[in-house]
Amino acid sequence: MRMREFKLIERASKIFSIQRDDIIVAAGEHDAAIVKIGNRSVVLTTDNLHEKADFPESMLPEEVGHMALAVNLSDLAACGAKPLHFLYTITIREGIDDEFFERILYGMQKLAKKYDVAVVGGDIDFGDELYISGFAVGVVDRIVTQANARIGDRVYLTGLLGKAQLSLEQLFSGMDREEIAYPQSLFTPEPKVVEGIEIAKHANSMTDISDSLAVSLNLIAKKSNVSIVLNGDLIPLEHLTEFVSLNKALELFLYAGGDYELVYTSKEKSYGFEIGEVVEGEGVWIKKGDKISRVEFRGYSHM
């Protein structure tokens, strides 16, 4: 769990706290900031990746470029924003030649084209480690954040979880990238851009799975002053129990990050499947038969 990160983000939110008409959702309150520019609601987000923390050794340069854009697009998707523009900074280390650099950009551009994102700027410098920061700009028509889940909403998830972390652990255990269960989840995760835009038309709250489903739902519950109860019978684990025990599978599903899915609460469903409901109270819980247990506020980043 990145507890220090959460603490520092909270400090930062206080330091940069601002009341201004054009700031709809500010730093630290959601996956991205939402501001008013002219006649549009604009979503701004930034994410930083670096080699030692975020890129498995066997990751191809095209996948590094894909990832740098994908994490930012996922933040926009979490707001239901249509992505428009992207900028990056890249720090190149010794051993990264011009070809490697270009392959990173080709990977970025391939994903950008898919979602009609214009890569309009960048900054290049040189250092000891490969760093890529991304900055994405999008627009929304209807504002959906983590803060408005309503009693009686159902909780929906756009896809299966735990695949990225399972694959990473397989990689660490010595498997080749060809042997792991879900290489695409680990190396070229797909941000749920199209889904996010549709879901934002009806959802009361939404976020993406950055750290874990547990963190995402706890944030929604806390910011919306509600409780969320997951129905254990609705949680699909077959894609994991094929490889690990049932206990481990549930742990991965609830507490692993890196899967780029969206979770939302709504009175209706457009994408995904139901996993629980919003009720009065506090915290996040999982119910299986007669047993109810707390879903803790923790997760692990995927490396």
Task: By CB under 8 A, name the binding residues for a second copy.
Answer: 4-5, 7-9, 11-12, 15-16, 18, 20, 22-23, 26-28, 32-33, 35, 37-40, 42, 44-48, 50, 52-53, 84-85, 87-92, 98, 101-102, 105-106, 109, 112, 118-129, 131, 133, 135, 137, 139
Distance CA 47, CA 259 (A): 16
Nearer to a second copy, 48 or 58 (CB): 48
Nearest approach, Cβ of residue 68 and a second copy (Å): 11
Q: What is the largest CA-CA distance in the chain?
A: 60
Is 191 in contact with 270 (CB distance < 8 Å)? no
Q: Which is nearer to a second copy, 69 or 230 (CB)?
A: 69
For residue 194, the minimal CB distance to a second copy (Å) is 19
Q: Which residues contact 194 (CB under 8 A, 6 or more apart)?
A: none
Report the nearest approach of a second copy to the CB of residue 138 (Å). Answer: 10
Residue with tokens 């309503």: 150
CB within 8 Å of 22: residues ≥ 6 apart: 35, 36, 37
Minimum distance, C-beta of residue 41 to a second copy, in the bound complex (Å): 9
Euclidean distance between CA atoms 138 and 270, whole angstroms: 21
CA-to-CA distance for 266 and 258, rounded, in angstroms? Answer: 24
CB of 251 to a second copy, least distance (A): 24
5 vs 268 by CB, closer to a second copy: 5
Residue 20 Cβ vs a second copy, minimum distance, rounded to whole Å: 6
How far is residue 101 from each of residues 56, 59, 94, 95, 113, measured CA to CA in Å?
17, 14, 11, 10, 19
Question: Which of 32, 199 has the CB closer to a second copy?
Answer: 32
Question: Amino acid identity, residue 169?
Answer: E
Q: Nearer to a second copy by C-beta: 96 or 151? A: 96
Block residue for tokens 């979880």: 161
Cβ closer to a second copy: 35 or 151? 35
DSSP E strand stretches across 99-203: 118-127, 131-140, 154-157
Residue 52 vs 291, nearer CB to a second copy: 52
Q: What does DSSP assign to residue 177?
A: T
CB of 19 to a second copy, least distance (A): 10
Shortest Å distance, C-beta 170 to a second copy: 24
Six token digits for residue 14: 């206080």
Residue nearer to a second copy on the CB measure, 44 or 160: 44
* Local structure of 31: helix, strand or coil: coil
- 3-state DSSP call for residue 190? coil
CA distances, 257 to each of 85, 165, 253, 299 (Å): 26, 7, 9, 7
